[in-house]
Amino acid sequence: MARHALLGQSEMLVLLAVLRLGREAYGVPISREIAAHIGRDPAVAGIYATLERLERRGLITAAMGEPTAARGGRAKTYFSITVTGLKQLRASQEALQRFWSGIPQLVGDKP
Protein backbone atom coordinates (compact mmCIF):
# COMPACT_ATOMS: atom_id res chain seq x y z
CA MET A 1 0.00 0.00 0.00
CA ALA A 2 1.30 3.46 -0.91
CA ARG A 3 2.27 5.66 2.03
CA HIS A 4 -0.18 8.48 1.20
CA ALA A 5 -3.01 6.26 -0.03
CA LEU A 6 -5.47 7.14 2.74
CA LEU A 7 -7.55 10.24 2.04
CA GLY A 8 -8.91 12.55 4.72
CA GLN A 9 -12.59 12.43 5.72
CA SER A 10 -13.57 15.63 3.89
CA GLU A 11 -11.61 14.55 0.81
CA MET A 12 -13.39 11.20 0.74
CA LEU A 13 -16.80 12.83 1.15
CA VAL A 14 -16.18 15.32 -1.65
CA LEU A 15 -14.76 12.67 -4.01
CA LEU A 16 -17.74 10.37 -3.34
CA ALA A 17 -20.17 13.26 -3.98
CA VAL A 18 -18.36 14.10 -7.25
CA LEU A 19 -18.59 10.45 -8.31
CA ARG A 20 -22.28 10.20 -7.40
CA LEU A 21 -23.17 13.39 -9.28
CA GLY A 22 -21.25 12.55 -12.43
CA ARG A 23 -21.52 15.38 -14.99
CA GLU A 24 -23.55 17.59 -12.64
CA ALA A 25 -20.81 17.93 -10.00
CA TYR A 26 -20.40 21.58 -9.04
CA GLY A 27 -20.49 23.43 -5.69
CA VAL A 28 -24.23 23.47 -4.89
CA PRO A 29 -25.12 19.81 -5.69
CA ILE A 30 -21.89 18.62 -4.05
CA SER A 31 -22.80 20.34 -0.77
CA ARG A 32 -26.42 19.09 -1.04
CA GLU A 33 -25.24 15.52 -1.70
CA ILE A 34 -22.94 15.59 1.33
CA ALA A 35 -25.68 17.14 3.48
CA ALA A 36 -28.18 14.47 2.38
CA HIS A 37 -25.83 11.66 3.40
CA ILE A 38 -24.17 12.95 6.55
CA GLY A 39 -27.07 15.08 7.84
CA ARG A 40 -25.07 18.31 8.20
CA ASP A 41 -24.80 21.20 5.76
CA PRO A 42 -21.09 21.70 5.02
CA ALA A 43 -19.57 25.16 4.49
CA VAL A 44 -19.42 26.13 0.81
CA ALA A 45 -15.90 27.54 1.26
CA GLY A 46 -14.81 24.33 3.02
CA ILE A 47 -15.93 22.28 0.03
CA TYR A 48 -14.04 24.55 -2.36
CA ALA A 49 -10.92 24.38 -0.17
CA THR A 50 -11.10 20.57 -0.34
CA LEU A 51 -11.76 20.65 -4.09
CA GLU A 52 -8.74 22.93 -4.63
CA ARG A 53 -6.57 20.57 -2.59
CA LEU A 54 -7.78 17.56 -4.57
CA GLU A 55 -7.20 19.41 -7.84
CA ARG A 56 -3.64 20.29 -6.82
CA ARG A 57 -2.99 16.62 -6.07
CA GLY A 58 -4.34 15.66 -9.49
CA LEU A 59 -7.28 13.65 -8.09
CA ILE A 60 -9.94 15.77 -9.83
CA THR A 61 -10.11 18.15 -12.78
CA ALA A 62 -12.16 21.35 -13.10
CA ALA A 63 -13.94 22.80 -16.13
CA MET A 64 -15.85 26.06 -16.41
CA GLY A 65 -19.51 25.94 -17.42
CA GLU A 66 -21.77 28.63 -18.85
CA PRO A 67 -22.79 31.66 -16.74
CA THR A 68 -26.42 31.59 -15.57
CA ALA A 69 -28.84 34.31 -14.39
CA ALA A 70 -29.63 32.46 -11.15
CA ARG A 71 -25.95 32.76 -10.23
CA GLY A 72 -25.77 36.49 -11.00
CA GLY A 73 -24.03 35.84 -14.32
CA ARG A 74 -21.34 33.70 -12.73
CA ALA A 75 -20.24 30.43 -14.29
CA LYS A 76 -20.40 27.05 -12.58
CA THR A 77 -17.17 25.12 -12.11
CA TYR A 78 -17.73 21.45 -12.84
CA PHE A 79 -15.49 18.83 -11.29
CA SER A 80 -14.73 15.30 -12.39
CA ILE A 81 -12.61 12.59 -10.84
CA THR A 82 -9.38 11.46 -12.52
CA VAL A 83 -8.06 7.90 -12.78
CA THR A 84 -5.56 8.69 -10.01
CA GLY A 85 -8.42 10.00 -7.87
CA LEU A 86 -10.42 6.83 -8.40
CA LYS A 87 -7.40 4.70 -7.48
CA GLN A 88 -6.78 6.74 -4.32
CA LEU A 89 -10.41 6.47 -3.30
CA ARG A 90 -10.43 2.72 -3.81
CA ALA A 91 -7.17 2.34 -1.89
CA SER A 92 -8.63 4.36 0.99
CA GLN A 93 -11.80 2.27 0.98
CA GLU A 94 -9.83 -1.00 1.09
CA ALA A 95 -7.54 0.26 3.83
CA LEU A 96 -10.47 1.38 5.96
CA GLN A 97 -12.39 -1.87 5.38
CA ARG A 98 -9.33 -3.86 6.49
CA PHE A 99 -9.07 -1.69 9.58
CA TRP A 100 -12.80 -2.01 10.42
CA SER A 101 -13.01 -5.78 9.94
CA GLY A 102 -12.40 -8.24 12.75
CA ILE A 103 -13.48 -5.97 15.61
CA PRO A 104 -15.95 -8.02 17.74
CA GLN A 105 -17.61 -4.93 19.25
CA LEU A 106 -18.62 -3.73 15.78
CA VAL A 107 -20.09 -7.03 14.60
CA GLY A 108 -23.90 -7.28 14.60
CA ASP A 109 -26.54 -4.70 15.48
CA LYS A 110 -26.00 -4.37 19.25
CA PRO A 111 -24.11 -1.33 20.59
Partner 1 sequence: MNQSAGLRVAVWLVARLTYGERRESILGDLLERHAQGETGWWLLRQALCTVFIGLKKAIGQYGLLFALALTAAWATVFAFGIVNSIIRNEVGRLGPSITRDAPWSHHLYFVAFLISIAQLCFGYALAVWIAVRIYRPHPRLLVCVLAALHVAAGMPWAIRLVQDLMTNARYLEGLLWHLGLTTVTTVTIIASGFWTANRMARHREGRLTN
C-alpha span between 63 and 82 (Å, rounded)? 13
d(CA 11, CA 47): 9
Closest to partner 1 by CB, 70 vs 107, is 70
CB of 30 to partner 1, least distance (A): 9
Minimal distance, residue 71 CB to partner 1, in Å: 4
Within the chain, residue ranges assigned H as helices are 9-21, 27-38, 44-56, 83-100
* Shortest distance in whole angstroms from residue 55 CB to partner 1: 10
Question: Residues near 110 by Cβ (< 8 Å), separated by ≥ 6?
Answer: none
What's the sign of the alpha-carbon dihedral 7, 43, 70, 73?
negative
Q: What does the binding site for partner 1 look like in residue numbers (CB under 8 A)?
A: 26-28, 31, 43-46, 48-49, 51-52, 68, 70-72, 74-77
Closer to partner 1 by CB, 28 or 96: give it: 28
Of 64 and 106, the one with the shorter C-beta distance to partner 1 is 64
CB of 95 to partner 1, least distance (A): 28
